[in-house]
Amino acid sequence: MSNLYIEKAEENILHTYNRYQIVFDHGEGVHLYDVDGKEYLDFAAGIAVQSLGYGHKEYTQALKDQIDKLTHISNLFYTVPMMEAAEKVIKASGMEKVFFTNSGTEAIEGALKAARKYAYERDGEANHEIIAMEHSFHGRSLGALSVTGNEKYQIPFRPLIPGIRFAKYNDLESVKSQITDKTCAIILETVQGEGGVYPVTEAFLKGVKALCEEHDLLLILDEIQCGMGRTGYMFAWQEYGVEPDIMTCAKAIGCGVPVGAFVLGKKAAESSLKAGDHGTTYGGNPFVCAAVSKVFDLYEKEKILDNVRAVGAYLTERLDGLVEKYDFLKERRGKGMIQGIEVEGRPVGEIINRCLENGLVLITAGSNVLRFVPPLIITKEDVDCMVEKLERSF
């Protein structure tokens, strides 16, 4: 059956993805099933989205209940789910204000606008610059692409937005050298995801924060992939106690419904986007906010962070074991349940295809990294099962 579906899909869908040749049908817990009934252990979570796994009864019930009440009403009005979701984001982050978007990319767009507006209010003029990192990934719209440090993605779409300077990730001197009297913000991922799974160093993050305070710049932390518990902290920056001025969220914040957010700290909340400066039709509608609200409840109820810390440590140990055992595995990077293994001398795409044959869903990061971003509910047994399937695929 699946070949027929794939052919049909390719007939009509713009080919911007080289997809794996699988047609998924449904999921249950940490397992996925394709249309032929084959079972897969999932260590990709729909790219770090499905933190609670698939078919979570309490989660899906909350969505069904909301669908029966109201899915959309526009941002010209208030809804109870919007109020509840916002309260939970603010409580979990300790920040001041949230704006809900439909995606990570849009959260980045909002963050960039908030930063420019902050500087505009401060200086009484526009034309400010933003410092972004090499090998970063922030999204595909023109603004988000402008701060994405990947020439391959950028070149055909130039000119991008002006005033973006790139610095080396985890290299404070490089960031310093890019600061001018026009700089308004520094944007980085607390753990670089797509770029190959590189966690920020504590010294770098604290150094960047100090530079931001010294020069009155806004620190924008992109927590779209590494946030929502993946490192064992609700937001990865909380491990270091370095609060951003603006944080972006998406992916797991809705566990499968399209929702993102940018969250402002005191400085940015008090003096950046005002009524009329920004908007979205769908963003933060009652349907997605019911999901966000339930996600925060379930994280607490199911002690997701505890599981990430315990099982994440075990995952780290098992991955380190693999790197020791196989010569073509160069290095493990990451923390908790956002991990990568750099591969040398073997195409990672081929390894992934073997994994899929063996019933394991894994994805890549960058051009030569195996990425492990499983649902945050995995057990040690799931880790063992994954390692067994992975070794078979080698």
Ligand X SMILES: *Cc1c(COP(=O)(O)O)cnc(C)c1O
Does position 103 interact with ligand X (CB under 6 A)? The reply is: yes
**Residue of 331, 329, 309, 365 lying closest to 193 (CA atoms):** 365
Give residue number: closest CB to ligand X.
Answer: 104
Q: How far apart are CA 259 and CA 44, in angstroms?
A: 19
∠ CA 255-84-73 to the nearest 5 degrees? Answer: 85
- Number of residues forming the site for ligand X (CB under 6 A): 16
Does position 371 interact with ligand X (CB under 6 A)? The reply is: no
Smallest gap from Cβ 118 to ligand X, in A, equals: 21
- By beta-carbon proximity to ligand X, the closer residue of 284 and 359 is 284
Does position 224 interact with ligand X (CB under 6 A)? The reply is: yes
Which of 34, 42, 129, 222 lies at the binding interface for ligand X (CB under 6 A)? Answer: 222
Does position 189 interact with ligand X (CB under 6 A)? The reply is: yes
Convert 230-246 into a string of H (helix), E (strand) and C (coil): CCCCCCHHHHCCCCCCE
- By beta-carbon proximity to ligand X, the closer residue of 251 and 294 is 251
Does position 193 interact with ligand X (CB under 6 A)? The reply is: yes
Helical segments of 138-235, H only: 142-146, 151-154, 172-178, 202-215
Stretch that binds ligand X, among 62-70, 100-108, 151-159, 208-216 (CB under 6 A): 100-108
Q: How far apart are CA 296 and CA 299, in angstroms?
A: 5
Smallest gap from Cβ 191 to ligand X, in A, equals: 8
Stretch that binds ligand X, among 34-42, 52-60, 75-83, 222-230 (CB under 6 A): 222-230
Of residues 240-279, which lie at the interface with ligand X (CB under 6 A)? 250-251, 260
91 and 65 Cβ atoms separated by less than 8 Å: no
Per-position x/- string for 131-170, each x denoting binding to ligand X as judged by CB under 6 A, each - no binding: ------xxx-------------------------------
Cis before 286? omega within 30: no
What does 221-288 look like in DSSP terms, one character per residue? EE-TTTTTTTTSSSSGGGGTT---SEEEE-GGGTBTBS-EEEEE-HHHHHSS--TTS---SSTT-HHH
Write out the residues near ligand X by the rule CB under 6 A: 103-105, 108, 137-139, 189, 193-194, 222, 224-225, 250-251, 260
